[in-house]
Structure 1
Amino acid sequence: MKKTFVALVLAAISSYSIATEKQQVTVSLTSASTMAQGMAMVLANQMQEQGAQVDILLCDKAGDIALKGAEGETLKPNNVTPAQLLDGALKKGATASVCALYLPNTGNKAEDLRDGIKPANPAEMGARLLEANRKVIGF
Structure 2
Amino acid sequence: MNKQICNLLLADDDDDDCMFFREALDELSLSAMLATVNDGVELMGYLETRGEDLPDMLFLDLNMPRKNGYECLAEIKGIESLKQLPVIIFSTSLDSKNVDLLYDMGATYYIRKPGDFSKLKKVIYDALVKVSENNFGQPERTQFILQP
Query: TM-score, normalised on structure 2?
Result: 0.33
State TM-score, norm by structure 1.
Answer: 0.34
Q: Which has the higher helix share?
A: 1
Higher relative contact order (CA 8 A, sep 6+): 1
Bigger Rg, structure 1 or 2: 1
